[in-house]
Each structure stands twice: as C-alpha cells, then as structure tokens.
C-alpha cells in the first residue's frame, strides 16, 4: 500500500518542481530584461556604446535595484559582446557557473532584440560579476 502511494505521489511532486522551476525561470527572465536591461540600455542611449562593466552603467542610473545579482540574488555576469550587444548570465538557483547549461540562464541583447539561452559567445573582455 505504501509503495502504491509513493508511486502515485512521486510524479505529482516532480510536476510541482518543474512548474516551480519554469515560474522561477520566467521571473528571472523578466527581471533581467525589464529591471537590469534598462540600466544598460540607458547608458547606451547616453554614450552610444554599451558599458564595459555593469557597474559603469549602474553608477549613472537614478534608481536603486532590489538586489545585487539576478532576480533571486544569485550570481550574475554582465558581458559586453560588441558595441551593440551584451548578455546577462545568471548562475541560477545552484549559484554555480554551469557554462550556460543546467539551471543557468543567458539573456542576450543584440540590435534591440532580446534572446533567451542564446549560446554564450567567447568573451572579448574579462567577465566581471556584478
């Protein structure tokens, strides 16, 4: 009887975990695009180039951000790819750099468009955690 209950409950628990992961991922995507993205884009509008480091843009931004990192306060890397593109690499809930895999999230901005989980480009500059 206990085995039957476990067999019935396990798929439900896995389903709940997957739903939670999708919700967290969606929340993080929105945070990176709608909260951190404007910091960098405003810098671009003012200087005609994306900042080399996120903190360069943050110093000029007039609002206070809710935390240092992604939507959940986990490690985050900002990288300028070129003069008109950049990406955010969130290390995800495990807080480890999985090179864009596992629970990592890469949100890339290229020519006024956002891309989710676009492959990580080879860095042209040193990564700097924010």
Q: Which segment of 8-12, 13-17, 28-32, 47-51 scores lowest on mean pLDDT?
A: 13-17
pTM over 0.85: no
Please report, for the chain, the start and end positions of each structural domain, with discontinuous segments joined by +.
24-129
Span 71-128, pLDDT tens digits: 888 888 999 998 889 999 998 877 777 776 677 889 999 999 999 986 655 555 444 4
- Domain 24-129 bears CATH identifier 3.30.700: yes
Beta strand extents in the chain (DSSP E only): 76-82, 85-90, 105-110, 113-116, 128-129
Give 24-69 pLDDT, tens digit per residue.
888 999 999 999 999 999 999 999 999 999 999 998 888 777 777 8
Measure the CA–CA gap between 106 and 94, rounded to whole angstroms: 15
**Can you tell me which residue has the tokens 């067999």?**
7
* Sign of the Cα pseudo-torsion (121, 75, 23, 58, in order): negative
**DSSP per position, 7-36:** HHHHHHHHHHHHHHHHHHHHHHHHHIIIII
pLDDT band at residue 9, thresholds of 50, 70 and 90? low
Please tell me the predicted confidence (pLDDT) of residue 15: 44
Q: How many CB atoms lie within 10 A of CB 118?
A: 16
């Amino acid at each position: 009887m206990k085995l039957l209950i476990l067999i019935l409950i396990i798929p439900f628990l896995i389903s709940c975990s997957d739903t939670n992961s999708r919700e967290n991922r969606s929340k993080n995507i929105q945070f990176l695009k709608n909260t951190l993205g404007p910091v960098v884009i405003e810098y671009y509008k003012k200087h005609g180039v994306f900042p080399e480091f996120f903190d360069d843009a943050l110093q000029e931004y007039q609002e206070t951000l809710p935390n240092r990192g992604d939507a959940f306060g986990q490690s985050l890397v900002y990288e300028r790819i070129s003069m008109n593109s950049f990406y955010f690499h969130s290390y995800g809930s495990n807080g480890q750099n999985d090179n864009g895999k596992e629970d990592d999230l890469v949100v890339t901005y290229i020519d006024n468009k956002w891309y989710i989980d676009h492959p990580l480009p080879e860095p042209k500059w040193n990564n700097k955690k924010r």
